[in-house]
Each structure stands twice: as C-alpha cells, then as structure tokens.
Structure 1
Amino acid sequence: MCPQSTTLDNDLTSFIGRRKEIAELKIVLSSTRLVTLVGVGGVGKTRLARRVGQGLAKGFAHGAWFVDLARASEPALVANVIAEALGVPDQSALSPRSALAEYLADRELLLILDNCEHLLQACAALVSDLLRSAGGVVVLATSREPLGVLGEHSWPVPPMSMPDLANVAPARGGYVYGYEALELLEERARTVRPEFSIGPVSRPMAAQLCRRLDGLPLAIELAAVRLRALSLEQIVARLEDRYRLLSTGNRGGPARHQTLRAAVDWSFDLCSESERSLWSRLSVFAGSFALPDAEEVCAGGEIEREDVFEILSGLVEKSIVLCEGADEKSRYRLLETIKAYGHERLVAAGEDVTLSRRHRDYYLELAERSEDGWFGRDQVRWCVRLQNAQANFWAALDFCLATPGESSTGLRMGGALVFFWNACGHLKDGRYWLGRVLDASADPTPERVKALWVNGYVAMTQGDNTAAMACFADCLALAAQLNDATARAYCQQFRGSAEQFKGNLEEAELLLEEAVRSHRRRGVVNSLTVLATAQLGFVSCLIGKADRALELCDESCAVSEAHGELWALSWAHWVRGLAYWTLARFEPAAVALGDSLRAKNALDDRLGMSACVELLAWIACEAGASRRAAQLLGAAKALWASIGHPLFGSVELLDIHDGYLERLQSALGVKAFGQCHELGEQMSVADVLSFACDEGTPAPDGEPRLTRREKQVAELIADGLTNKQIATRLVISQRTAEGHVEHVLAKLSFQSRAQVAAWIAARG
C-alpha cells in the first residue's frame, strides 16, 4: 500500500486550536514510540490526534495512518480492523496479529489508534507486540484511560481554554479572543449563521455557555448548531435547567460525565419526536450506513419510510449524524458518544432486540442478494457495497452468536457471504466468523453443510489445506446424510483444487471432472460453476493437456462474457495464460495475463494479482527481458507474502519458479539480480500493476522502465536538485527521496547523477 496521510484530512475544518499541545506532542513523539491521549469523551482527543498526525506524516517514510477502533466489536477483531485500515491483504493463513506484525516489520510509519477504551486489554497487548516487532512504528493512541504498556507516555487532554466568568475581556495570545473555546464556538456558529460573531456585548454570554459546557468541543459544537434557531441567552437558559436536573439525579457520578450527558440530553430534548426515535434506531448500525439502509431498518411505527430522509437530514443539520460523500454516494455515521446515548434510549424504550433483529435481517438479505446477484455485470458494484457493509455484517453476526436460537441464521449469513470472503479479499474474516458460527451450531442442517464447504474453500485459498480437508470431510458426510447433491458438488470442486495444490493431480482431475459434470447435469450456471471449468483447465495444464485447458478456458470465457461475469473470467484468462506459456506461445500468454490482471485490479483480488505477476515474470524471462523479469519476481514475492503460500503451494509451479530464479541469476549475475529483485519487492501495488500491465511483449533490457514517481525523480536529478531539494519539491521525506534516487540509478545501471542527466537529455 502506498504511504498515505491524506485520510487524516477528513473531518478537519478551519479551526486550528490546541497549537501548544500539537507542538509539544510533536516533540514528545520524536523521542517516544507510544503516546496515549487520555481524556473524557468529547474532549477532542480524536481531532487532536488527527492534527498531530497531519503535521508529522511527511516525516515518516510510509506516512501516518488513522484507525478507528470503535468498529472492532470484540478483542479478537482489533488486529483485523488495523490491518484493513493499513491495507494489509486479507488472504494469508497467518493470524491477523502475525500478519500485521510481519507487514509492519520493515515499515516506518505513525499509527494512530482511536477509541481504544472499549477494548483496552486487547489494544495494550497488540501495541506492546507491535512496538517490539516493528522498530519503525510509532503509536499515537486515544483512550479514556492509559493502555498500561511499558514505555507509554500518557498525555492528558484538557478541555479547551476558557475565560473566567468574572473576567471575559479579550486576552492576548494566539487566538482572536485568547481562548480556544470561544474560537470554536464562533467558527462552528458561523456554519449555521454566517453573520454570527462574538462581540463585546455577546462575549460574557458566550463565555458563560462555554464555561457551563466545561470547554468540551463536542458540547460546544452541539450548542453552536442550535444558534440557527436560538439566541445565546436562550441556549444558556435551557442548559441551566438541564444541568440542575442532572446534578440532582446523578450527584455520585463524575462531574465530567454529568456535563457531557447534559449536553447530549439537551440536544436530544431539542429534537422532534421523530428525530429522537430515528436517532435511537440508528444506534443499531456499526460503522457507516447509506440512506436505503436507514429506510429499511429504521422505518416503522411513527416513522414512515418516505419520511426517513427528511428526519435524517434534520439530524445531520443538528450534527447528531455525520454525512460523508455526496448525492447518492452519501454515507452516514454516528459519533460513538452519540451512538451510545441513542442505544441507551433504544434499550429504555424496549426496542433494542427488535431493531437489532431487523438490522440483522436486512444484512442477511443483503448477503443473500449479493450471492445471487454476483453472477452478472454488477460485480464491482457489489464488491464496493459489501466492503461498505463490512462492520454491519460483523454486528449482524454478533447478534446471531449472542442471541439464543439465532446460530443457524449465523451459519446462513456466513455461507451467503462466500464471494465477500473469497473474491473481495476477506479470507481472515471469513475463517474467523465461519469458525465461530460453525462452533455455535452443530445441528445437521443445510445451513451447516454449506458453511462447511465455504469455510473449506476459504482455508484452501489461504493455503491451509489441512483445515480445508477437515471441513470437506465433514461436509461430505453431512451432505450424504442430508442427500444434498449441491453441497457435494461444490465440496468436490474445491476439494479437487486442494488435492491439486498438494500435488495429487490425478485425484484432483477426477474430483473436478465430477464437480463439472454435476453442475452441468443440474443445469446450474453461476460464478462458481464457471470457475470449476477454469479450475479443471488449471489441472489440465499441469498434467500436459494444454490444448484441453484452452478449450475449457474458451468455454469459461464464453459463459462469463455472455453474462458480464468478471471474477471467474479473470481466472479463466489466467489459466489461458498458463496454457499458452506451456505451449511456448508467450505473446498471447502475456495478453491473456494482462486481461486477467486488469480484471483482478478492479476487484482488488490480491491472490489473483500475485498469480498474474508471477507468470508475467516467467514470460519476461523467456523474452530476454531479464531485468524486468527479476523485478517482477520481486514484486510477486511481496504479493505472495501477503497471502500465504506462493503459487498456491503447488509443487509443480514452485519448481518452475525456482528454475527461472536460477536462469536470471546466471544471466544477470547474483548482484544485479538481487538489485532488480529488491526493486520489485519495494514497489507499491499501484506501481506493480502499472509496470506489469505494459502493453505488448516485454521490451528488451536496453529500455529500462521507471515508475511515474521515479521518472519525476530522474527529471529532478537532471535539473541538478539534491536529495533534500527533491524531498521538498515532491513533499516526501528525505529518506524516501534517497530511496527513489537509488532505485533510479539501479534500474538504469548508472553510477552517477550525471549519467541520469545525460539519459534524460538524450530522451528529449
């Protein structure tokens, strides 16, 4: 994944308070590897962390990354959420924690972990492990209490600075009014009343409001929104009454909790009845949701479906709900504090189980519709929709596991998400949830038999053939008991591939032939049955039946293209490339693999990308482009490492791979080969795709290829810029710039910057 820090810009506005804290935190983080921002909910820990990350991102070779751990519903999912945010491919048989540690081992980045308090022990254990195994990682966490990790620097986040009520005259300092709370109030108020300003007359009342809200940013922002309809005096009067009531009702609780609850209670009371009801119902969503999701789950009773949009818009205006994106792509979410408050109200109304079940049913239906609709022209759209719904799938599966009598529905959902697990790159998630729902329900049901073969398929794709075979054995036994021919056919199909990867090619061919015959006999045509034909073609290549493999690929491609299918089609193209390679027809092989790679990129299929880049390296070697081949092999190695077993663990393919390594080392020499191979390993996925998808057959070694960034660096070298100046011009760290310069020199086989300048000049 390319280093990124742009995601830190989200939710940041023109307000730039806490200058002193930001400056001091930057200093602390230069010498401390773990800093935890500690404070009450709503005090601004998240925004402060984002600001610090935004300022420090350029100083880390791989940038700064923000991870919202509120999406992790249980300790076991902490590593998954972090891995997903960092772009760690979800196709390795390693545990999520091990895969994350391996991914971060050689990276230099700032990792911002937000909302650690609800999973404190899990976060502490994981952070401790990462700090030991990844020497280039610095962690900035936010929590309501310290993590308790050795070496942790706990940083209390205080409320914003406020004037004393006895002295509200302007003060000297870095802010217009000398106090951050007043700055924030005015800035936010102007978003709803552009003409609003805090002048000499209104300053005492504004100061009183900020003081009554204890300088908490969340409370101030909620108050500012109400200035659309109320004056400062009216807001303070209403808030005064609310505080008096809460102080009487909860004197034993911490004052800060009384204050924040007062602000949220007050905001709740200012909503209409329908807004209050929708606010409570929206608390069943995890992560973000779209308007159609809210309409389906939250409508009912006093809320008509056609009214949801207007009510939701009102909540957005009141800053209760955050809106991300625009138009039909808009997605919504609740801040965790607001969500927790809404859930309390939902429980108090006795609607929590009903809404949670309705939420589960909606996402179960979505999962089943995605399975049915996958075979067609909307695969990329389905991929995006399923990715957006991930956190809600987790919440729905959690409901199935936590609610008596619902485990069978959990099996049903886990099986229906077969393409989400396999085609959308969520193999670890699939193993986790399928394992849990299978453990929760041992009843011999159709839902269980399907979940078994789906789990086996996921394990096989990861290269965990031992676990896969155990699932297939249980599935076959249960399928026989239930007389389920469909489950048997799919089980034999993926069992065939597992046998193939174990080297049992004859057994694999028999099993896949049985599966293909069964699919045809039952007249079933979908992505998995089309894939079965390509899988049989794959085995045919390995047993010397390349012509048969091409015929099978032609069949798969014809069916896929007729239905607009992309995923199975991409595998058929890959097998076709392998078949052409076995026939020494390298040009059509490169074309087929290019077609496959572009399709796999659209689906973010990392397993498929790895397989394509590997074969393209073999073809480059056959074309005499040794440096290109070595670099592609390095890129493939990095891609395979993120998945698990290179080349599916196939003994036959691994032997071929080793043969090409020896040829390239002999052709280039060990040192030059190592340089090219290392260049490939260090490429981003985007650069690998660009490099691998060059049109036509590979160019000879006399035409070196630079990535887009490397071309920029080469041109700046030709202009006479130093590494430091290049870093400044491209807004990257000097260390990153030095790495790019080294790559350019190695690719061009040059020893000096003057040679680079001459090469640029010769190219015009």
Structure 2
Amino acid sequence: LDNFEHVLPAALLISELLAGCPELVVMATSRERLHLRGEREVHVEPLTLPSPSDPHYPDSVEALAAVAAIRLFVERADEVRPGFALTTENAPVVTEICRRLDGLPLAIELAAAWVRVLPTPALLERLERRLPLLAGGARDLPARQQTLRATIAWSYDLLTAEEQTLFRRLAVFVGGGTLEAAEMILGTVENPISDVLEGIASLVDKNLLKQAEETGIEARYVMLETVRAFGLEQLATSGEESAIRRQHAAWYLDLAERADPVLLNMSPGNDWLWRLVTEQDNLRAALDWSHQTGDAETFLRMAGALSMFWYLRSGFGEGRQWLNLALASRAPAPASVRARALLGAGLLALYQGEHEPAGEFLSEALKLYRSLGDDFHAPYSQFLLGVVAEDSGVYDRAATLLEEARALFDATGNQAMVANSCYHQGIVAWGQRDLVRATTRLEEALELARATGATFVIRWIVERLGIVTSERGDHSRAAALLHEALIHGQTSGDIHAAISGLPMLGVLAVANDQPALAARLFGATEAIGAPTGQSVIFQLPERTSFEQAVASARAKLGPSAFDAAWDAGTRLTLDEAVAEALAMTQAIIEARAGLVE
C-alpha cells in the first residue's frame, strides 16, 4: 500500500484484515505512522554521505564514487551529459552538492539534470536558493515528484493549520534547536502554539522533523535543509517572520550572555562551551539578523558576549569580523555593552598578534569599566593589557600590570583569575630568563587553578610548565606535563590551546632529538592555525623557543629534509598532529619508567 498518509482513517480496516487473516502481511509506505498494534516502523533514510572529519572518509576518487549519493549524482549527470565522471577536480564540488541536498535521492536527481547546462561549481553556487533550481523532473513521474517544492508541499498540505504554523516557525532554527528553545521562542509570540511538544511529536511522526542523536539531556530536533528551505518560504509569506526572528535572536542573545561570565572567568565551563558549539549556526543567524535589521544593541551585546567563545574555539578571524561590524556602529548603546565588545575585540586582536590595536581596544574598555565601577571587567581589561605587554616582550610593564590586576582579583575573591594572573607572571619570568622563578610561579598558579577548577587555565599552565621544565633539562618530566596537557585538551573543547600547543611540542621533539617530528608539528601549526586567523608563534617568549627549535631542527636535518618534513606536516589534521605528539610523549614517559625500574 503506497502513500497511505492520504487514507489514514482506513488504518482500522487494515487492523481488521490482519485480525481476520493471521498469515497476512501488509507493507505500507507512508509519511506518517499508522499507529496500529504490532506495527514495525522502518525509516527510509537519505543516502548517507561521509563527513571529511570521519576517519573512514574515502581516500580516493574511486572510493568516493562508490558512495551511494555521489554514485546517483554521477549516473544521472551522465544521462544528460554523456561522459560526465567524477574526477579529482570535481569530486569536492560534487560531494558538497550532495551534502547540501541532504542526500535526498529526488533532490540529487533534479540537481544532476542541470549538469547539462551548468558546470558543477556554478550549480553548487546556485544551490544557495535550492528550491527554484530543483525542478524539471521527468514528465512520466507523478506531478508531486517533478519538483522538490511540490514533493514537500504534498506533505505540508496534509498538516493541520496549527501544525503548518509550527512547521514554518521551526524553520527559523539553523542546524536544529532544543525543545526548550522552541517552547520559549514559539510560545511567546502572537498566536502562540498551544502545545509545542505535542506538535513537534506530530511533525516527527510525519517525517518533517527528526530528533537529533542524543548528545546530552536536552532534546534537539532538526529539519533537513531542503525541507527547511520550504519552511522559510512559508514563514516569509506568513507575515510573522520578523516576530519569530526577533524572538530567536533574543533567545540566543540570552544564551550567549549566560555563557559569557562562565567562560570569561575560566570557570568549569565545558558544558557551556559545547552548548555554544552546538548552537553555532543559530548564533550566527541571530548575529546576522540583528545586524541586517539595524538592531545595533542586540548585535553589539551578542558579539561581545561571544568573544571568549571565539577565543577558545580559535575563531579569531570570524569573531573580529563580527566585532568590527558591531563596533563600527555609533548607535546609542549602554557603556557596559560597548565596553564588553571592546574587551572582546582586544582579546581577539591580541591573539592574532596585533598588539597595537589590542592595546587601544583594551585601554578604551578599561576606561569605561573604571567609570562604571566594575570590579570584575576593569581588572580583567588591565590583566589583558599586561598580556599585551608580555607578548610584546615589554616584561617590566607586564609584571606591573599583572601584579596590580592580581591584587584586584584577590580583593574580590576571584581565585580563578588570581590563578590566571599568576600563570602569566610565570610567563613573564620565563621571558626574563629566570627559569627558577618561572617554575615557582607556574607551580603556584597550577595549585590555585586546580583548587578553583579553572578548567582552561589548567591546560595552559601545564603546557607552559612543561616547556620551562624542558628548558631546565628535565625532558622526562616535561613530556609527562605536556602529555597531561594533550589529554586534557582532547575533552576541553579549547581548540586555541590545542593549536598553540603544537609548536611547544615541536620544541620538546627537538630537545628529544626528533627533528623530523618537530618539523612536521611546526608545519601542522602553520597550516591549521592560518585558516582560523590565529597567531601562535609570534608571541613572546614562546617565539624565542620556537625560533631556536626551528633553527636546530633545520641544522640537524638539512634544508631539504627539513622542508619536506614541514610540508608533510601541513597535510596533517589537528587530530593527526596531536596523535603524533601523544605518541612521542608516551614513548618518553615509558622510557623513563623503564629506567626507573
């Protein structure tokens, strides 16, 4: 029985037939469950597509051509343009086309038909507005299958009026949303949905929505992007798009501002960090909407509140673009809002190695926060000015600013930031080549950080303590410390620390007489850090250690071998580079254990 969703009341007749005919088996296709006893539901999922981050991602064009979605595209493209084949040049574009179409066979077939008149890169570009393009199916297909819009509209027309309202409103979420967010956003507008959970359950039953794989305690629901595109069309013509998008932006602004103090204070904040990672597309959509509609205060508040998130996730380039746009507006905004955005802009500029603009942003933020009597953000701005001086090699000024900031944090009982200040005092001592005092400060900072649970600071301290320990000649203990930092980094979500730690591990590799590994790690640092806009080897005193290690590795290997190893490193992913570094530190630790035994 095909397309049973159109005659669902007849399901009772099926039940009677099954009861009267014990040997009868009924196979029905339907966009909605029949809700009969004994019913076994088999979902027909879209054609799967491996992610480039998948360790089993096909490593050749031949293997990629065997992936079902790509094979279907190539077959249909060959029908309209004989000789079309997957090549090294077009494979990435074809893969992205299939991914944009969610692996839906009908969508892939309709898109492939355009290869007759469009090169694949042009086809991919036009998929930004996918529904108008995905038309022109075979004339011998049912009308509802000749365009993708008609196929989705077929299901949409079967919904009740309230289900249609819920469906189009849910299309505002990019990459899905939580039940809590849906209830708050859709329940606080004019004509709210009476029972969002019940409505979502119905849309899941009708396969217009699906529950995401569980990643925590929050239920999360997603639409296929092709389905969402139809939902957005309906939302745009409903007259309620502005109200829904305004509530969406308000919800995600609140989320960002709740996460901000946790991340800024280096508190145990992994859950908040991962939550923002999950909601990254919604956060971008909210930023873009507030910017495009001229809601300057919301835009400025959100950009400032997300700055620490961008720092931890190594989103320096993206973060600075948003912050520059937000700060460029001279629309009236509370001083505290502007100060927070300035602090964020200074933070990101600092870690892109742009010390002069970083200092200007932070000095302005400090002035505003002092005028407001803010006893957290004012010392925080001063603390970051100390880090600007530290990274610029102006160690005496850095020591003064950090000591003052530490005293201010201590006066308010903020031990997490006392630990962070103490950590940077250790870095300053390292830059001044006082390795004993650097070790003392770093060990003190580590004790404070562990006591307060300053999750991210612990990783940074352990890593720098490892390098200082290596420079003092204890390579075995240095390996143990850097190994701990690597393990910690695999669960913390702090991509910035993971990338910035690679050259330090290269320094240890040189000290451990592994110049080829060091060169690979240096190459990986360059390749992985560049797209993020992150400057990881131009800050002092790390730069000094890095440059000495590079010169030593080059001398040991010779220019050709060094360049080859560096080039090999540029092809490593972050996970692969970390795995190589872990193997090195583990080997040093095991060798030390063997000597002790």
Query: For this structure pair, what is the TM-score category when the shorter chain's length is used for normalisation?
Result: 0.7 to 0.9
- The residue that corresponds to 2:307 in the other structure is 418
Aligned to 1:317: 205
Aligned-partner residue type, residue 392 of structure 2: K
1:273 aligns with 2:250: no
- CA 1:698–1:481 in 2, change beyond 3 Å: closer, same or farther? same
- Structure-2 residue corresponding to 1:601: 490
Among 404, 412, 422, the residue aligned to 1:522: 412
C-alpha separation in 2, matches of 1:538 and 1:292: 43
CA distance in 1, matches of 2:452, 2:439: 20
Name the CA distance, whole Å, in 2 between partners of 1:465 and 1:645: 13
* Pair 1:268–1:673, CA change in 2 (3 A): closer
Q: 1:446 aligned to 2:336?
A: yes
Partners in 1 of 2:109 and 2:55 — Cα distance?
19
Counterpart secondary structure, 1:27: coil
Question: Percent identity at matched positions?
Answer: 24
The AA in structure 1 aligned to 2:361 is C
Please report how far the alpha carbon of residue 590 of structure 1 lies from its aligned counterpart in structure 2 after TM superposition. 1.8
* Aligned counterparts, 1:114-125, within 5 A: 114=124, 116=126
1:468 to partner: Cα distance: 1.3
- By how many angstroms is 1:623 displaced? 2.8
Does structure 2 conserve the Cα–Cα contact (< 8 Å) formed by 1:621 and 1:664? yes
Residue 542 to residue 273, structure 1, CA distance change in 2 (3 Å):
same
What amino acid is aligned across from residue 291 of structure 1 in structure 2? L
How far does the alpha carbon of each residue in 1:254-311 deviate from its partner, in whole angstroms, 9 at most, with x for none?
xxxxxxxxxx2x6444212331221232133233212222122223576567x32221
When residues 112 and 505 of structure 1 are mapped into structure 2, their CA distance, relative to the original with a 3 A threshold, is farther
- Give the Cα–Cα distance (whole angstroms) in 2 for the partners of residues 18 and 582 of structure 1: 57
| One-letter amino acid of the counterpart of residue 548, structure 1 | R
Give the CA deviation at 1:44: 6.9
Written as runs of structure 1 = structure 2, the 5 A alignment for 1:172-211 is 181=141, 210=142
Match of 2:179 in 1: 291
Provide the rounded CA distance (Å) in 1 between the counterparts of 2:452 and 2:279: 25
Runs of 5+ unmatched residues, structure 1: 53-109, 120-141, 146-156, 164-180, 182-209, 223-263, 703-764
- The residue number in structure 2 matching 1:734 is none
- Pairwise CA distance, 1:431: 0.8
How many residues get paired? 516
Please report how far the alpha carbon of residue 456 of structure 1 lies from its aligned counterpart in structure 2 after TM superposition: 0.6
Counterpart residue type for residue 457 of structure 1: L
Query: Residues of 2 paired with 1:647 and 1:31: CA distance?
Result: 33
* In structure 1, distance between residues paired with 2:342 and 2:112: 47
* 1:675-690 mapped onto 2 (5 Å cutoff): 675-690=564-579
Given candidates 409, 430, 440, the residue that maps to 2:319 is 430
**Cα deviations by residue, 1:290-343 (Å, 9 ceiling, x for unpaired):** 2222122223576567x3222112113333334443585764334556545545
- Matched with 1:393 is 283
* AA at the equivalent of 1:159: G
In the alignment, which residue of structure 2 is the partner of 1:662? 551
2:500 corresponds to: 611
Aligned counterparts, 1:69-148, within 5 A: 114=124, 116=126
How far apart in 1 are the matches of 2:529 and 2:285? 31
CA distance in structure 1 between the partners assigned to 2:125 and 2:563 by the alignment: 43
Q: Look up the SS of the partner of 2:570 in the other structure.
A: helix
Q: State how far apart, in whole Å, the 1-side matches of 2:434 and 2:461 are.
A: 15
- The letter for the 2-side match of 1:21 is A
TM-score (norm 2): 0.74
SS at match of 2:580: helix
- Structure 2: unaligned runs, 5 residues or longer: 1-51, 59-63, 114-119, 592-597
User: Quick one: distance in 2 between partners of 1:341 and 1:472?
Assistant: 45
Match of 2:150 among 207, 214, 219: 219
Distance verdict in 2 for CA 1:478–1:677, change over 3 Å: same
- State how far apart, in whole Å, the 1-side matches of 2:384 and 2:343 are: 8
Report how far residue 573 of structure 1 moved: 0.9
Separation of aligned partners in 2, 1:358 and 1:516:
40
Rounded to whole Å, the distance in 2 between the matches of 1:640 and 1:609 is 10
1:511 Cα deviation after fit: 1.6
1:253-268 equivalences in 2 (<5 Å): 264=153, 267-268=155-156
The residue number in structure 2 matching 1:27 is 84
Give 2:108's aligned residue. 47
**Conservation of the 8 A alpha-carbon contact between 2:77 and 2:84:** no
Structure 2 CA distance for partners of 1:611 and 1:437, relative to 1, 3 Å = closer
Q: Does 1:567 align with 2:469?
A: no
TM-score by length of 1: 0.59
- Shift, 1:516, TM fit: 1.5
Q: What residue is the counterpart of 1:160 in the other structure?
A: 137
Shift of 1:158: 5.7
Alpha-carbon distance in 2 for matches of 1:322, 1:683: 35
Alpha carbons of structure 1 residues 26 and 460: separation in structure 2 relative to 1, 3 Å = farther
Give the match for residue 385 of structure 2: 495
Find the aligned partners of 1:697 and 1:398 in 2 and give their Cα distance.
45
CA distance in structure 1 between the aligned counterparts of 2:138 and 2:544, rounded to whole angstroms: 67
Following superposition, the deviation at residue 45 of structure 1 comes to 8.0
Cα contact 1:496–1:508 (8 A) shared by 2? yes
Closer, same or farther: CA 344–495 of 1 in aligned 2, 3 Å: same
Q: Secondary structure of 1:332's partner?
A: strand
Residue of structure 1 equivalent to 2:425: 536
Q: Which amino acid aligns with 1:591?
A: A
Q: Is the 8 A contact 1:411 1:437 kept in 2?
A: yes
Change (3 A) 1:467 1:47: farther
User: 1:414: Cα distance to partner?
Assistant: 2.0
SS of residue matched to 2:260: helix
Alpha carbons of structure 1 residues 676 and 425: separation in structure 2 relative to 1, 3 Å: closer
Higher relative contact order (CA 8 A, sep 6+): 1
State the Cα deviation string for residues 525-545 of structure 1 (Å, max 9, x = none): 44x554333222211211133
- Does the aligned pair in 2 maintain the 1:275–1:315 contact within 8 Å? yes
